[in-house]
Amino acid sequence: MCWVWTENVTETALPVRPQVVRSPDDLRAALAGRGRVGLVPTMGYLHDGHATLMRRAREVCDVLVVSIFVNPLQFGPSEDLAAYPRDLARDLGVVEEAGVDVVFMPDVDTMYPPRFGTRVTVSGVSEGLDGASRPGHFVGVATVVLKLLNLVRPDVAFFGEKDWQQLTVLHQMVRDLNVPVEVVGLPTVRAGSGLALSSRNSYLDAQQQARAAVLSRALMAVQAAYAGGEREAAKLRQAGLDVLAQDGEVTLDYLSVVGRDMQEREVVDNDPMTRVLVAARMFGIRLIDNMPLVPASQSPALQRTDS
């Protein structure tokens, strides 16, 4: 939490609301002379997954910055940019409760001024899966994140593992471009049903969200098969496909077992970076999720929230 003291206050600390800034100049002024800086980039409509990132950042950083910017560069022509959920008052309540010091809320013209002509392309890990299904998406993600890193200049940036391919792309980007930041990924936070928390879940009513948890159950079926000794990727995938087939609302984009290079595996070894990823449409909404594949002795406990 950020605190302020006055000459008349000797024993009581007064909490300060997060400072909201919109321009790069105001951002630099807000961060001048501060200590270890953490950044949590977001597109707003914050949920407990975002709050978990903020709380972790608050533990290890002196100054916590959250950016809120719905990035048009990562939306395709037929995607939901205009309809993407927004609730600024709610978001500011979440950041205040998490002890955020600075909220950076640039507008589109600030991030992409006239004659803006630079794009960041991360080859290889960005090309399959969501990269194939959403052409240009990871170019938009890499471009906006690099801009935010250059503007905030954090020591550490925090991201959720739900967007595993995105996290992999960003790790490679900062490595390839020698960006002086530590990228930290934190486990996916889930609803009690197992559904991965996502801003897009707000498009679904309670019954639809409960049914959408079939995606996480499919991933858990793959993990169970792996923990039981199965190593052929086709058979592991089939375990998940059998679960997805139980709900006729699922329109599958992909269910893939990949290694750290985001390439499909035919046989799965004991690489702890092996993941099973799924993307599907349910009730007209595109949802993604993933889980690591680990031996039975290391099966991870899923992080769930009551909300």
Give catalytic status of residue 47 as yes or no. Answer: no
Low-confidence stretches of the chain (pLDDT < 70) are 1-16, 299-301, 303-307
Q: Among 47, 50, 137, 171, which one carries the catalytic annotation?
A: 50
Q: What is the pLDDT of residue 296?
A: 83
Are 158 and 19 within one domain? yes
Distances (CA, A) of 282 to 81, 171, 218, 219, 244: 18, 30, 14, 16, 11
Inter-CA distances, 14 with 7, 62, 194, 199, 210, Å: 12, 17, 38, 32, 41
**Do residues 227 and 277 share a domain?**
yes
Per-residue pLDDT, 224 = 96
Residue 288 host element (H or E)? strand 285-292
Query: Is position 228 within any domain?
Result: yes
- Among residues 144, 159, 186, the one where a domain terminates is 186
| 267 domain-assigned | yes
Contact 157, 38 (CB under 8 A): yes
Is 63 within 8 Å of 102 (Cβ atoms)?
yes
Give dist(CA 138, CA 125) in Å, integer.
10
| pLDDT for the residue numbered 10 | 35
pLDDT for the residue 6: 32
Please identify, among 126, 155, 186, the residue that sits at the C-terminal boundary of a domain: 186
Q: Please indicate, yes or no, if residue 144 is contained in any of the structural domains.
A: yes
pLDDT of residue 71: 98
Characterise 219 by phi-psi region: left (phi > 0), alpha (psi -120 to 50), beta (else). Answer: alpha
Average pLDDT score, the chain: 92
pLDDT of residue 297: 77
The confidence score (pLDDT) of residue 162 equals 97
Per-residue pLDDT at 270 = 83
Contact between 107 and 83 under an 8 Å Cβ cutoff? The reply is no
Residue 284's CATH number: 3.30.1300.10
Q: The domain containing residue 49 runs over which residues?
A: 13-186
Question: Does residue 258 lie in a domain region?
Answer: yes
Identify whether residues 27 and 166 lie together within a single domain. Answer: yes
In a domain, 170, yes or no: yes
Span between the terminal Cα atoms of the chain, in Å: 24
Report pLDDT digits (tens) over 168-204: 999 999 999 999 999 999 999 999 999 999 999 999 9
* 215 and 299 fall within a common domain: yes
